[in-house]
């Protein structure tokens, strides 16, 4: 969630562009959240908005969301960890 022109939003989106496309669905949310019609269509997005005016990413899986973050490094770690097992999903090169 955040203003598309904010460089901090762009930094979060850059992390998402590098994520495994088979595991990630990106939903762009305005900084102040979605309107009522959009929330009716996507109820899981109710209340999701930029926190304290800072562009914010929400990583959710199977109805549970991790702590929201505006930090690209934290977002990268959240996306690289299988939940609930906590296993790393990082791809390693064959030896």
Domain contains 34? yes
C-beta separation of 56 from 74 below 8 A: no
The label of the residue with tokens 């929330």 reads 39
Could you tell me the residue range of the domain that residue 58 belongs to? 7-79
Q: pLDDT tens-digit profile of 11-66?
A: 999 999 888 777 788 888 999 999 999 999 988 889 999 999 899 999 988 878 89
C-beta separation of 35 from 92 below 8 A: no
Domain contains 91? no
Domain contains 95? no
Q: pLDDT tens-digit profile of 27-36?
A: 889 999 999 9
75 to 26, 43, 57, 65: CA distances (angstroms): 13, 23, 7, 12
pLDDT at 72 > cutoff 90: yes
Domain count, the chain: 1
């Amino acid at each position: 969630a955040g203003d598309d022109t904010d460089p901090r939003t762009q930094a979060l989106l850059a992390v998402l562009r590098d994520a495994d496309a088979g595991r990630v669905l990106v939903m762009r949310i305005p900084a102040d959240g979605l309107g009522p019609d959009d929330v009716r269509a996507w109820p899981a997005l109710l209340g999701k908005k930029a926190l304290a005016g800072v562009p914010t990413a929400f990583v959710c899986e199977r109805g549970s969301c991790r702590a929201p973050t505006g930090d690209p490094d934290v977002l990268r770690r959240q996306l690289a960890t299988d939940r609930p097992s906590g296993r790393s999903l990082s791809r390693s090169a064959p030896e």
